[in-house]
Chain A
């Protein structure tokens, strides 16, 4: 158990819908990272927050947004869902900001868009 929690574990929804994925980092960790793992693209970095502020952006679509709240939990919002958004979404946390940081991964949320 990494100490990072993600809810829900599974989510099944329809195209065009909007969903929110939630992540609680390990106690004391200030950075939260979001990743997408799809069958055709592998693992890809989406976005990082540190202590409530956006720090780095990767291949995140405009239909997706995220935020980190004062209690340090984070939410990833996915809207106008398409079939290709079906994937495993991981969050990870680390103590410090950005580089040379071990990251601790949550168990993931499996999103299925029908």
Chain B
């Protein structure tokens, strides 16, 4: 079993829809990261969380340390949000989930 599990693996949405991507982990962590990888391959750090909730524009990330679970929400999704979203947990190193491929259609 992977230490970091993401769901769903693939997600298709219509523009404007509310998106939720989930991440569960099985190890003790010091922080959790959400990353975005565009089709060209570049990786951008979206959030780093140790507790609670963070918001940046239309993106919201939450973490429940007791339940070892985090969610990434995208409100009013847009085609430019199409990317792979990767959850990574920080122990003495980053351990990555396999990613969620999101496609948003106009």
- Verify A100–B50 contact, CB threshold 8 A: yes
What is the number of contacts between chain A and chain B, taking CB atoms within 8 Å? 51
A107 to B38, CA, bound (A): 11
Tally of contact residues, B, Cβ under 8 A: 22
User: Which A residues between 63 and 106 are near B, CB-CB below 8 angstroms?
Assistant: 88, 90, 92, 98-105
User: Which B residues between 38 and 53 are near A, CB-CB below 8 angstroms?
Assistant: 41-45, 48, 50
A35 to B41, CA, bound (A): 13
Shortest Cβ distance from residue B78 to the other chain A in the assembled complex, whole angstroms: 22
User: Which B residues between 83 and 106 are near A, CB-CB below 8 angstroms?
Assistant: 86, 88, 90, 92-99
- Verify B94–A103 contact, CB threshold 8 A: yes
User: Which A residues between 18 and 75 are near B, CB-CB below 8 angstroms?
Assistant: 33, 35, 42-45, 48, 56, 58
A101 to B31, CA, bound (A): 9
